[in-house]
Amino acid sequence: MKHIYREGAGEDKPVLLLLHGTGGDEESLLELASRIDAEAAVLSVRGNVLENGMPRFFRRISEGVFDEADLAFRTQELHNFLHDASLQYGFARERVVAVGYSNGANIAGSLLFQHEDALQAAILFRPMVPRRGVPLPRLDGLPVFIGAGETDPLIPKAETEELRSLLEGAGAAVTLHWEPAGHQLANTEIDAAAAWVRSLPGPNE
């Protein structure tokens, strides 16, 4: 997968896995990453699917309706890529914190739905429920930050609450941050996510 890797300030810092929204690329969230943790390592990935020329991480049938077979395949593809990248760049998988926006948040959520050992933590900005009717792995204590917009025209509040409920039902420790905003990110929720990352325990704590 096309990507950018930047070493962090030390092995105690997280590796921020950056997953862009539809039409973004591996450079789209670099500034966001520096605001969340300027000393973290960065692994920023471009989605392998094109929709009308715009990169995405998986296909969809229509707006808000995912191609679930492709989502499962692409989730496994990303999981395998993380394994290979950890060997190539020498970082521990337990240091990986996903930072996903919109489509990127959905594949990050799908990683949590498919693999209990994929991530140390996840920041999901404007996510949806990636899949329904599937058993989730145990996510005991896994920290998840959800950034949701109160006036988001694409994601109903009930969808966000359902995602929180499913993750908590699998044992995840979910922080849900509501922002008086739509689908675009607000500075205050980026600041809230940065404070949340600073509160995370180290991988060996």
Q: For the domain that residue 121 is a member of, what is the CATH number?
A: 3.40.50.1820
Is 187 part of a structural domain of the chain?
Answer: yes
Length of the chain: 205
- What is the band of 205 on the pLDDT scale with cuts at 50, 70, 90? low
**How large is the average pLDDT for residues 17-22?**
98
Q: Is residue 204 one of the residues assigned to a domain? A: no
Task: Report the share of the chain in percent with pLDDT over 70.
Answer: 98
Domain assignment present for 203 = no
Residue 133 domain-assigned?
A: yes
Interatomic CA distance for residues 147 and 125, integer angstroms? 5
Looking at the domain assignment, is residue 88 inside a domain? Answer: yes
Q: How many CB atoms lie within 10 A of CB 110?
A: 28
Q: Is the pLDDT assigned to residue 21 strictly greater than 60?
A: yes
pLDDT at res. 201: 80
Please determine, for residue 204, whether its predicted confidence score (pLDDT) is greater than 70: no
Q: Looking at the domain assignment, is residue 205 inside a domain?
A: no
H helices within 118-156, ranges in order? none
Instruction: Give dist(CA 87, CA 147) in Å, integer.
Output: 31
Query: Is residue 89 a part of any domain in this protein?
Result: yes
Q: How many domains does the chain have?
A: 1
Active centre residues (catalytic): 102, 152, 183
Q: What integer is the mean pLDDT of 137-156?
A: 96
What are the beta bridge partners of residue 5? 43
Does residue 16 form part of some domain?
yes
Range of the domain at 112: 3-198
